[in-house]
Amino acid sequence: MRIGGARIEIMTRVTRAAFARLTTRALPERLAVRSFRVSSIGAESARVVTYSALDPLDLPNGLVLALPTLNGATPARAIRALEESHAVAVDENELQRLVDFDLLGADERVRTEES
């Protein structure tokens, strides 16, 4: 038996599983815009606050205005729609950054409708 015993081993497994979930870089199957606040608007960009006022995002105004159109969209469809309809160029890495900042998340309605 290891030093610390079975309890420490179980706590280690739980901690590693939680860390893996936090560091997984998978985009949601369908996107949903989360709650946010615009703290300032400039000529070309807006400062957006999500989970913390100490960690705002500076985003192009076109992207901020287009956010509602992303609800329910797959990541691929969101990228195309932003480029074609709103002239905003984003890639999967930028979408992942918006997920990391909790501006975008998984569309829970998909899960509810499928259940």
Residue pair 79/95 in contact (Cβ under 8 Å)? The answer is: yes
pLDDT of residue 13: 87
The answer to pTM > 0.85 is no
Separation CA 36–CA 59 (nearest Å): 12
The CATH number corresponding to 27-114 among 3.90.930, 2.20.25, 3.30.70, 3.30.390 equals: 3.90.930
Domain boundaries, the chain: 27-114
Does the structure show a pLDDT above 60 at 97? yes
pLDDT of residue 115: 44
Range name among 74-78, 89-93, 108-112 with the lowest pLDDT average: 108-112
User: Within 10 Å of residue 98's Cβ, how many Cβ atoms?
Assistant: 25
Separation CA 25–CA 103 (nearest Å): 15
